[in-house]
Structure 1
């Protein structure tokens, strides 16, 4: 176990990013994810490219026709890796057992106690290797580890994701917004590490 200069084990600090990923986030989460186009006019005028516009339209229509998809997430804390610890996350959004979105993320925690660099690899749709990409973005953990703001590039646009932990620390609600769209995540921890 790595010790901080004060003799405190690294994963036992009160740094907001440690609280968010190691104390609260670690475990298996399940819930729902929604996706909606909020302005078709702004989407048409956006510069996200034809492929992203087709993907956005398909995602919107599929959810409207089949209902809200399921979201599963598994976060594994790795407090002794990197300069200030990191966590790995696999997010799967599915409907009728078919993967609609798969995201593998590595959260690299900054020693300032609030910053996070996120390295992500995503797949849109059920076909491996078809719509995939690797990317990096940032997050800021706030409110003593009870909230986070992510600035993430998705579907060719910059999204701001605001995540809020419930007072019982067992559920998280997120709202992600861009100029033309809105997505939500509503998840509850179903299993914590032993």
Structure 2
């Protein structure tokens, strides 16, 4: 483990991004994800492309018919990677055991203590290699590591995701919004790192 000059382990700082990813986020999380279109008119007028419009419509209809899908997330802290540490995350959203969405992310923490650059590889749908892409976006960790705001490119649109950690540090609620839709994530830690 890398030690800072004061003898404090590198990942045991009070930097908000260290607290959020290393102290709180690390572990296995499980919960539910929701998705719905809030304005069909704005969706149809948007420039997200036909494929994304079909995906959005399908996701909205499937959730209305079958209920909210399950979300699983596994976050691994890597405090000694890079300049200020990083964390890896695998997110899987599924329904009836079928993967609807798979996202592999690498969070690169900034030395300012609040910034994060995220590199993502995503797959939409259950078929590997069919609807995939890679992308990069940013986040800012706030409130001493108890909240985060992500600026995400999803489904051809710009989304803002606000994440709030519960006081017990064992659950996180997020609301993601764009011009025509909203999504939520409500997860709880089911196991801490070994």
SS at match of 2:190: strand
**What is the rounded CA distance, in whole Å, between the counterparts of 2:47 and 2:2 in structure 1?**
46
SS at match of 1:12: coil
SS at match of 2:3: coil
Query: Deviation digits for residues 104-146 of structure 1, max 9, x if unmatched?
Result: 0000000000000000000000000111000000000000000
**What is the rounded CA distance, in whole Å, between the counterparts of 1:108 and 1:62 in structure 2?**
34
- How large is the Cα RMSD of the aligned pairs? 0.6
Stretches of structure 2 that go unaligned for 5 or more consecutive residues are none
2:16 matched to which residue of 1? 16
Deviation (angstroms), 1:73 = 0.3
Instruction: Give the TM-score normalised by the residue count of structure 2.
Output: 0.99
1:98 matched to which residue of 2? 98
Runs ≥4 residues deviating over 3 A: none
2:150 matched to which residue of 1? 150
**What is the rounded CA distance, in whole Å, between the counterparts of 1:141 and 1:117 in structure 2?**
11
Instruction: Give the TM-score normalised by the residue count of structure 1.
Output: 0.99
1:7 matched to which residue of 2? 7
SS at match of 1:4: coil
Deviation (angstroms), 1:3 = 2.1
Deviation (angstroms), 1:6 = 3.4
1:133 matched to which residue of 2? 133
**What is the rounded CA distance, in whole Å, between the counterparts of 1:183 and 1:122 in structure 2?**
17
**What is the rounded CA distance, in whole Å, between the counterparts of 1:43 and 1:122 in structure 2?**
22
**What is the rounded CA distance, in whole Å, between the counterparts of 1:108 and 1:115 in structure 2?**
9
SS at match of 2:11: helix
Stretches of structure 1 that go unaligned for 5 or more consecutive residues are none
Verify: 1:51 aligned to 2:51, yes or no.
yes
1:69 matched to which residue of 2? 69
1:107 matched to which residue of 2? 107
Deviation (angstroms), 1:193 = 1.0
